[in-house]
Amino acid sequence: MMKKNVSQLLLILLCVFLTLGQCCFSNQKVETRVYNMPDSIVQEIGRAVQGGNFLCARKTLFSRNFFQLGDERLLILIGIPDYLCASNSFMPVVVDGQGKWLAGPPIPGAPSWIVLGPDDALWLAAQWQVEGTFPALYRSLNGVDWQEIKLPENRDVDCCFERLARICFHRGVVRLKFAGDATEKTAYWEAGLEALALSGQNPVWQPVVVVQEGADEISCPFVPLDHGSWIRIESEQSNWVYFKKNRMYAKISLVIPCSLE
């Protein structure tokens, strides 16, 4: 009987605590934070455009490639309007919830995907898109500074329209899958993770024979980053794009221009 009474008392106290907690928390004001991209970054993008071959009157900034990082920072890969009416290079921009903006040097091509590796580094694939397409691979520890990883040569997949389709990590090895758009051929290559992480080193790539397509996708999964809880809103009435995220006591808006006009 005593144990039953004690349990009932604890249950009552828990209900009281939760009720009071809801009351106190409900009175907590929700803070609205709005952070605009600094002029210095906009100017840096403008300088990158000057050396391009752009034929359109409106210099649009492409901002649909954005990813939530593990610490909830936002990584935006801003397409630079440097080729005809499109983009063939992009600038990595990282923003945190306190409005701290960081931007890295422009990277050639267009972003394909980003994966977080077991080394806590970001791995980014990009595609050069002028008179054909071919891939490149980059690695970064902070999302701002990127190191290009030398890819294997003589892949014999597609001379002019080749993609880096996926990356995966398994037992200290990095495995890449290349695919040809025109030839429909595929090829797998792998190298040691530690060797790839060393700056300035030429990795030793080895071809991998895959008996059945997709057979290794369970043991060596490909898991790209996504938007997380960030949403993108493009205003039709203004020249701004908003990236929004709601936290328990804060609504965060990051604002970048739609174009350089």
Q: What is the pLDDT of residue 214?
A: 67
Q: What total number of domains does the chain contain?
A: 1
**Cβ atoms of 187 and 155 closer than 8 Å:** yes
Other CB atoms within a 10 A radius of the CB of residue 128 amount to: 15
Q: Over the stretch 121-160, which tens digit does the pLDDT of each residue have?
A: 999 999 998 888 999 999 999 999 999 999 999 999 999 9
- The mean pLDDT value of the chain amounts to 87
Q: Tell me, yes or no, whether 58 lies in a domain.
A: yes
Percent of the chain's residues with pLDDT above 70:
84
Q: Tell me, yes or no, whether 145 lies in a domain.
A: yes
pTM, two decimal places? 0.84
Range of the domain at 220: 31-257
Strand runs labelled E in 55-209: 66-68, 74-79, 83-84, 89-95, 101-103, 107-108, 110-116, 122-128, 134-140, 147-149, 162-170, 173-180, 186-192, 206-208
Q: Tell me, yes or no, whether 163 lies in a domain.
A: yes
Percent of the chain's residues with pLDDT above 90:
62
Q: Tell me, yes or no, whether 116 lies in a domain.
A: yes
Q: Tell me, yes or no, whether 16 lies in a domain.
A: no
Helix then strand then coil, in percent of the chain rounded to 5, is 15, 40, 45
Task: Give the tokens for residue 144.
Answer: 């701002």
The SS3 assignment for 2 reads helix
Q: Tell me, yes or no, whether 196 lies in a domain.
A: yes
Q: Over the stretch 204-248, which tens digit does the pLDDT of each residue have?
A: 999 998 766 666 677 889 999 999 999 999 987 888 999 999 977
Q: Over the stretch 59-81, which tens digit does the pLDDT of each residue have?
A: 889 999 999 998 889 999 999 98
Q: Tell me, yes or no, whether 23 lies in a domain.
A: no
Q: Please name the residue that has the structure tokens 């290349």.
A: 178
Q: What is the DSSP letter of 18?
A: H
Task: Give the tokens for residue 216.
Answer: 């290794």
Q: Tell me, yes or no, whether 175 lies in a domain.
A: yes
Q: What is the pLDDT of residue 78?
A: 97
- Whether residue 24 is predicted with pLDDT greater than 60 in this model: the reply is no
Q: Is 23 left (phi over 0), alpha (psi -120 to 50) or beta?
A: alpha
